[in-house]
Structure 1
Amino acid sequence: MTTHSSSKLTFFFPDYTDPIEIAYLDTGISAGFPSPTEDFTEQRLSLDKLLIKNKQSTFFARVSGQSMIDAGLNDNDLLVIDRSIPPSDNRIAVCFLDGEFTVKRLKVEKDGVWLQPANPKYHPIKINEENHFVIWGIVTNVIKRL
């Protein structure tokens, strides 16, 4: 896996040369009362196949900061980002804004595009003609470490 860093995000590009399949319990794991073990069925699961729909356009980035905590994106979480998904209102996107990478929710309104944080301590950013702005991709999944 190769990497590239910016001050806000660290990017990782997937290595598909040796996909790994791990055991997967298809019955679900109870978060309430324990379930009987006789229903146990084991299959094989590839996280590449589950999390990545478009191999050539997918990359990963590690979150740095707290601006998206109310959307479930915390500092050090790993994002799965797909560049082939068209940006649209209410999607969470990785954007390049005035020389820095950021992850925010897109708000498309009549008066323009806003980058909306998911933390009340941060202010929305209105994109204007003076901004150097590029949407790099849409976040499809988040991988957390407990």
Structure 2
Amino acid sequence: MKRPSATFFLAVTGDSMERLSIQEGDTLVVDRSIEPRPGHIIVDMVDGEITVKRYELRGDVACLCSGNSRYAPIPLVDMECQVVGVGAISP
């Protein structure tokens, strides 16, 4: 753990990231000090709800994308989104 004071653990619930090998019950190690870049798995708060998604740019639009085709990408347009941190999987 590189930055203990900026790091926390988050238990995963739900199936939105299963195709990216993030399963319900996994623990994410989340670092609040990392600036998210496209392709990073991020923990974010969207409209008051904590989510775990892959951060992507689609054209000029930032999107939160799941690892499950049942969930559509969430374009970050006209919504409140706060990145909590960048995650790594810990089995």
Q: TM-score range by the shorter chain?
A: over 0.9
Instruction: Decide whether the 8 Å contact of 1:88 with 1:108 is kept in 2.
Output: no
Query: Which has the higher relative contact order, 1 or 2, with Cα contacts under 8 A spaced 6 or more apart?
Result: 2
Percent identity reads: 35
When the two chains are superposed, the root-mean-square deviation of aligned CA atoms in Å is 1.0
Q: With structure 1 as the length reference, what TM-score do the two structures score?
A: 0.60
Q: 5+ residue gaps in structure 1?
A: 1-51
Q: With structure 2 as the length reference, what TM-score do the two structures score?
A: 0.94
**Map of 2:87 onto structure 1:** 139
Q: 5+ residue gaps in structure 2?
A: none
Deviations 1:23-73 (A, max 9, x none): xxxxxxxxxxxxxxxxxxxxxxxxxxxxx1101100010001000001110
Structure with the higher fraction of residues in strand conformation: 2
Q: SS of 1:128's equivalent?
A: coil
Q: Distance in 2 between matches of 1:120 and 1:64?
A: 17
Q: 1:65 aligns with which of 10, 14, 17?
A: 14
Moved over 6 A (4+): none
- How far the C-alpha of 1:112 sits from its partner, in A, is 1.5
Give the structure with higher Rg (CA): 1
Deviations 1:102-131 (A, max 9, x none): 0000002432110010111111100113x1
